[in-house]
Amino acid sequence: MRPVSTRLRAGLLAAGAALTLLATVGPAAADSAPAAQLNGSWAPFSRCPVDDPAMLAADGRIDIVQCIASHSAGGSIRLGSTEVVTGASDLQLGVVQHASGAPTLIAPAGGALIADPADIPGGLLGLMCPSDIPVISDICRQITNSTLNRVTATVESAGTPSDFNLTAGATTGRPIVAIPIRIHLQNPLLGGSCYLGSAAQPIVLRPQNLNAPALGIQRFDADGTADATGVMNRLSLTGANQGDATFAVPGANGCGLAGLLDWAVNLKTGLPSAAGHNSVVLNSAATYLAGLHAPGTVVPDNGKLLARYWHSALR
């Protein structure tokens, strides 16, 4: 890896803040690949997609390949009139830094996000009740136990992130990247297709640093063992809070049989909600980036060696 330049630091900050903001609500998709157990300094990168063809093809001169892992212990998100406290979240991606142009982000095969479930306050009672509308009143009377009442929210990707601003990651108060997402509301009475946002009409987060993170640099051996002269470099950004209060949230869709409960969810939660009435905050995020210390010396095998070293750290 070349000496840490201002541009690289900015890129890491941009990616770190952006990636952390992706992990705002709910558990990962059900088909997420299980995380590996890695040794030492490799530990945060347990799901890095090192075997993806685009990662393996990086030569170390025109394309430089790296792993990013971003973790937050918790935060909050406000959508319309509903605020949700979020739990721990972890998002990992591979990054191909190009000699020119924006970097390419690559998600693990099972999806990039893993996070603790987030409960909607008040559950279904909070979303739709009380109500004097016959159909909704009948549903409210059915909610007699926590299983029927509990509603969880899951963030899912709704497209490819765009509009990276590398220099914004080194400052505060400037949008870093645009991230399209949708939020899956899960409850037996809402059915399996109740969403806020969609691929056609996503919620678009534009995260920014609320305070500057602390930067650290560490060298380590191929298998993850700390070594001041190791072949690998790890950069860390810790202690930053990130947020966005500029995104709009569309109305619910697919809630209940044939979407018959969409309007009830929208009415109670204040959706759709225009930009400026919603917000997201991630507390004390920790973001790590790892790559070869001197990729230019291993041309054309940067990607292949990163994969080999990652696999050598498996416990």
**Residue 14 pLDDT:** 35
**pLDDT band at residue 145 using 50, 70 and 90 as cut-offs:** low
Question: Pick from 184, 194, 188, 202: which is nearest to 260 by CA?
Answer: 194
Task: Name the residue with higher pLDDT: 285 or 201.
Answer: 201
**20 pLDDT more than 50:** no
In this prediction the pTM is 0.78
> Mean pLDDT in the chain?
81
Mean pLDDT computed over 67-82? 86
263 Cβ contact partners less than 8 Å away, ≥ 6 residues apart: none
260's enclosing H/E stretch is: none
Reported as a single tens digit per residue, the pLDDT across 165-219 is 656 666 788 877 777 788 989 988 888 899 999 988 989 888 888 998 888 899 9
Locus of tokens 């949708």:
182
**88 pLDDT more than 60:** yes
Question: Pick from 116, 114, 152: which is nearest to 19 by CA?
Answer: 114
- Alpha-carbon distance of 245 to 79, in angstroms, equals 10
- Alpha-carbon distance of 72 to 87, in angstroms, equals 8
80's enclosing H/E stretch is: none
